[in-house]
Amino acid sequence: MIADISVSLDGFVTGPDPGPDNGLGIGGETLHTWAFSDDLDDRRVLREGTARSGAVVLGRRLFDVVDGPNGWDDRTGYGAGEVGKPAFVVVTSSPPESVRLANRDWTFVTTGLPYAVTTARHRAEVASSDSGQELDVVLMGGGATVGSALDAGLVDTLSLHLAPVVLGAGTPLFTGGAPRMLVERSVTSTSTATHLTYDVL
């Protein structure tokens, strides 16, 4: 599984005071400037990331943001403007009563992150068979979900989009847990981010 997330130089994946109406917190939108950039390398990173996604795992807090009134629409969101929309698997203690983004493929898993990853792997296998190409499970966040997946040894590849901003506070990506050795696979630098890919040992 690939964990893919944008992060500030001081290690935050949101700014201060994130919530359903302001999912990235104060100043947190600067973390994702690269995703809307016209830079050819930024566009390539976004395109390749979307193209490899057979299924996407996310936590409930992040789902509430993207499905909220100020969340994704036909022009914004995972894979917007790119080819295809993957299945989404949400880790939650209880499924929502309704979904605003009914045109997306949502599965809600209440039995924990490992089972959600297993469900996503099955969906990615089906998508791979249908498309004739090898597709991955991508964990898009939020920060606590990525951290839990790393601690549980579920992450094979860590893809960080390091934004040139210091937020000072917010939701930290790393909050302790078991040490993990990383092996650098690639580095791509643009004016809006340094895209880092590591194999997780």
| Interval 38-60: pLDDT, tens | 999 999 999 998 889 999 999 99
Q: What is the pLDDT of residue 53?
A: 94
- Domain extent, residue 22, equals 2-200
Judged against a pLDDT cut of 90, whether residue 20 lies above it is answered with no
176 burial via Cβ count (<10 Å: 0-12, 13-18, 19+): exposed
137-183 residue pLDDT tens: 999 988 889 999 999 999 999 999 999 999 999 999 988 877 889 99
Domain CATH number, residue 18: 3.40.430.10
Q: Which residues are registered as beta bridge partners of 89?
A: 57, 107
What is the reported pTM? 0.92
Mean pLDDT of 60-87: 80
Count of the separate structural domains present in the chain? 1
